[in-house]
Amino acid sequence: MKLAVASGVLAGVAASATAAEIVVIVNPKNPATRMFSEQAAQFFVGKSALFTPVEHTEGPLRNEFSQKVLGKDISQVKAAWSKLVFTGKGNAPKEYASSAEVKKAVAADVNAIGYIEKSAADDSVKVILTVQ
């Protein structure tokens, strides 16, 4: 019994250690200063074109962002974008393999919006939301 409890505690610690704190970022010249998760979600599912979303390739960070901010899994998000692309109502976000690449893309485009690990944020981008 003690072994099961100990392994359960260790699994919980490991799960919390792998979950990075995620922040939504924009270009420092972008006038946005704060945003709610519901607002950010609109850009990442193609319901608003005010900002240009920059996406991570599939992986743990994208999974966590999709679940916590979009309330969807990645396949649902991809299906929504496929429909928009097919009907000519939008273009799927560019995808990047790392937070460093996402940060660089957002820093280069005043209209871009993306998300990265909080630890990767610096003065090249502006944090407008910390994902809870």
pLDDT per residue as tens digits for the range 46-97: 999 999 999 999 999 999 999 999 999 999 999 999 999 999 998 999 999 9
The predicted pLDDT at position 108 comes to 98
Identify residue 130 by its one-letter amino acid code: T
**Domains in the chain: ranges and CATH:** 20-130 (3.40.190.10)
The whole-model pTM stands at 0.84
> Cα separation of 77 and 37, whole Å?
16
